[in-house]
Amino acid sequence: MNKIYLWGFIVTAAMLGFTYVSVLGTKGGLNDDIVNTLTIAAAAALVLITVFVVIKYVRQMQVDTASGELADEKWDDIGEYLNPIPTGWGILFLLTMAWGTWYFLVGYPINAYSQIGEYNEDVAAHNAKFEARYASITGDRLIDMGESVYLAECKICHGLSADGIDGTAANLNVRLEANVVKHAVVNGSNNKLMGSGVAMPGRKDLYNTNTESLISDADIDVVSEYVANGMTGPGADVFAGACATCHGADGKGMPFVAPNIATYDQELVVTILNHGKKGVIGSMPVFDRLNTKQKEAVGAYITSLSK
């Protein structure tokens, strides 16, 4: 007996035996349940069909030889026969094309009902209703709403007290920490904090020099601490010489030029929620699932934390 047939018999016996022990050999067996009976029958049929197909094609690879006319092209002396594709393959391909055309045009056309489409429509309607209802709220009510949204969407990374959970996310109780400032000065930033792609140059890009920067390592450390300390302490002279041109003398930024790095404001927070942010800690995702009023409320709440 050929080894392939012997192994086929062994595998079939083993799998059917395992099925018997697992199901039929247990207490209760099939429990006269037609579904269980059909399932076991299907499993046995699957085992037999799989083993038969494997044996057939393995034997075919062992004994069959190729024949026909070789193509003129060769790659590394390996040729290819000009045999026509199997008839069954060709028919199956044409049937697949016909089915695909029917599926897109008749069976499930592009403009047909979609659960995702219905969900998106419901969300848009809810957001419109939500914003119309709460459009006029300001002050403490807006901050309270922002706190609720923060606890639902933001606390998982930034923590209940918004302290960043030991550096795993930004500490929102302060505008910037020293390591964040240093990373931006050294590497530059294109975080769309102005709502656009205007980039802040890194130290080696400053004034188009590729070898030396106009700000030294010591100056970077000093100005990073200066910004992190709320624009107080040593480093004011470095900030005035290297940073104030874009961020302003008080660090509160300039429209269309640079963001506010002294304090949080609602516009800045909303922009970060709209575009995400990358920095020394990692990446913050875009929060598309929040509507406009919710983002405004989160901005009001975070702004209130640093006051």
Cα angle value 8/10/14 (rounded, 5°) = 120
Residue 78: strand, helix, or coil: strand
Q: Where are the beta strands (DSSP E) in 18-159?
A: none
Q: Where are the beta strands (DSSP E) in the chain?
A: 277-278, 283-284
pLDDT of 5 above 90: no
The amino acid occupying position 3 is K
Whole-number pLDDT of residue 301: 96
Whole-number pLDDT of residue 203: 77
Q: List the one residue out of 260, 273, 265 whose CA is nearest residue 300.
A: 265
The amino acid occupying position 193 is L
State the pLDDT confidence band at 227, using cuts at 50, 70 and 90. Answer: very high
pLDDT in tens, 147-195: 999 999 999 999 999 999 988 899 999 999 999 999 999 888 888 888 7
- The CA distance from 187 to 206, in Å, is 11
Whole-number pLDDT of residue 98: 96
**Cβ proximity of 272 and 284 under 8 Å:** yes
Q: Domain spans of the chain?
A: 3-64, 118-305
Q: What is the dihedral sign for C-alpha 14, 15, 16, 20?
A: positive
For residue 198, the tally of other CB atoms under 10 A from its CB is 15
Cα–Cα separations (whole angstroms), residue 97 to 105, 195, 296: 12, 46, 50
Q: Which two tokens stand for residue 281?
A: 């800690």
Highest mean pLDDT pick, 3-7, 29-33, 255-259: 255-259
Q: Which residues of 46-85 are buried (b: 16+ CB within 10 A; e: fewer)?
A: ebeeebeeebeeeeeeeeeeeeeeeeeeeeeeeeeeeeee
**Cβ proximity of 183 and 224 under 8 Å:** no
pLDDT in tens, 46-85: 999 999 999 888 888 888 777 778 888 888 888 888 888 8
